[in-house]
Structure 1
């Protein structure tokens, strides 16, 4: 008898704990929602939500500026949603969702977007425009694209910047520090911020473009020229753009002509492949429904506790009743599965619920297992029987040759080769059947002419038919094009023809015909052999079955050919059948779809 299930592993205890936990979570969720509503109100009063919106937009604009697409943005969005407590959704301009912090946020999009995330067209800030015109750009400075400096160039510029910082301190006593821009180019900032930095220590090498920047600026200059020509803007040569994207021309006042617009347009065209496409940003707030006022008096507290206790009691009682009803039939199933005899024991089915269905399924599984075990035992016995004869012959001839009772001449070698070929044929057939049983029998279908395939099979078996003095003929129509595996279909016809020739006496005939029928093609192989008894017809496609069990191997084959035919035809979506008149005719019919 199997030991009882320990209490700690009992399904009943687990259900009770689960119900208790669910109740506690429900109560805790109510308290959490109340606290959350209060916290949300406080955040709104302090302007936290506005700050969160700014953080979300700025972070996502930075992501778009530094990535060519929105792949990988999901982690950033979820991190922002977790930190701010907001629902965040990014969509295309057609409002197709790219990523969202959660599914619920994506299902309730507002009518209007909170912002447009486009690193090439930033929304102007309230104080933007106060500085020089050349500094007013709507391109995110974090969008660097081809201006991103490699490590060697960064190191060289940083060394030059350190030299200038040392010079400013030694010469003017000015404290400065180095700030690395998004492209990797160092910039010198004075302390305190806003102080004027003398140009006496500035070097041309630090402000000159690096090879990477020079290549990118050359491309930008070509784009600016194209824009100027398109808009019929005149400019003086040479047209030069520095690392701050400012035009360097004699007599040219920065920001005073439309050429500045061409620089901005050229930068956008140059950076477009390196930044994420423009997207709509939706930032939603948690649901802010009216929060009921709780009565926290003594009487109100007692009512809350009483209601909570009643919910817990009812939940535990219902769970216990359901668990007991579930455990009883499960224990019966367990005892039947652990029966020491190992025999099939039918489980009584007393209910029509899921447990009853499970018991019925286990009964069917047990019956199938017994049938499978019996089939396996029979198959192993048949395989041993089929392999024993050729192995015994090979062993006998080899022992005779070793003992000097037989000469190892060509006839002995031919006999050994014949027996070895028979062994190989049986093993190949078993491999095909094993693949069919495992569902791994693969076909290579293509358009083919069944007439050509049948004529090839007839030619291949003419020698065997002539040796047995059997007339082999074929009758085919022309429209026999189908979809199939030519190798496997040739194997089907070969097995049927070999079987028919083998069972047809001398001066008999084997006729192969093929013609189109509704929905496919039909092949008929008819012979004038000994025929098959009616009671044996249902078994002719079984493995290792022979109509005459005492028949010699030379005429009987391995008993696997027709079984292989059935599996190959079924793999093509067709069907095979046989009819026989003992002593007159046997006809095998194969029907294949188009």
Structure 2
């Protein structure tokens, strides 16, 4: 059962359902957590808005006298309880009067705290006349910049000043609008002079030189080079002077308390028996659907597999094709199985043909030997020297066929033994051509190759035997050798009868003859070319053939040349 595909699919589906339920639970928990975090973020954003609004009120008013309406409005908009007290604990305003004040304040409202709020203006607020003049100058500069193609905008500060700001990509470019709108007005200059007096007193106490302010940005001009290395001390004096100057214009420091109104607690998750029962029912339904789907799909998958198994088990000698028409993995498996059956049938046919050919090739010489020996035994023929020579020739033919078959068997099994060595190709070819008188040999250069000399001569000898067998007496056979692109190329060309184009794919098949009517004496055993090609492949090369019917054939052997052999 554990090896059944249906059981595996069923187990996989159950596992998927369990993981799906777990993932759904995890997702629900994460979603709830995210919702809680989002609600907390919104709450923090609302608290920050309340603090900033009250900070702005303190920056623009000298006291907290009229802050109660603002506190009630903020409480109604945010749903929070807001209480503002002095630093001593006296309640200034409360959205829910009479409610207890928490022990710890959520924030301190002080526009002149660690950072001076930019909304604190004090004596630097422009008068109506000064504001009109400054705005006119700023708008004039803005038009000038626009006329010259510069990108610029104008923003109004809390003090009523209009500030022209260049775009980031125009700040370093030169323009002709040299007049500035940031020069202090009369009122601002008076306030800056008073600030400078306060700062000067502080600087003298720290043994630093006097500084001056040219704009309302409160950026000092260091007249004395000794002040450059004391920028932090100078900035502390400026901040201290500004706080002293602006303190009369802002409300005093206050404490802010924020609380949530009491609510009826609501449980986050309801795990009552009914809810638990619903979850169990839904999970069981999902599991049942998954199991049923898996069974249906599994049976559909197993049915063609069982058909394939039956086809294999029912085949006595070879697998029989099955009819399965599916466009999926099982369909492709069935197609591969049918292709295997076809290849098996083809291989069986080739095996029968080869056995028949071998039996035919061995039958004739064995029959001759047996007939002559029987005739000699019966006294019908004399076993003289001519008879012995004839019997030896038939025996040699049998031995030749057996040796060829043994070579082919070793080559097919990959056990063909080669005694490789570094040899001069010209010498080996000369020895092979010596056994076939009339052959013309042409060797380019002095090629060397790592070959088995006996097997190499056997390759060339088989090709020469085949060439002379199909070449008339007045024809010629030529052997050419050279090294090209790191390969030893040996061509065996003849001017014989040639091979038809339809027969070229079969010339290296075993026991194949172009003319079936040829006898062994004229057509050979049909193994020579097959052996030559197997031997070439065992050397890491191959043999190809080009032929024209009636004009001749050229067999080309290509083998790896010696690595240091120069190419021509």
TM-score (structure 1 length as normaliser): 0.46
Structure of higher CA gyration radius: 2
Query: TM-score when scaled to structure 2?
Result: 0.48
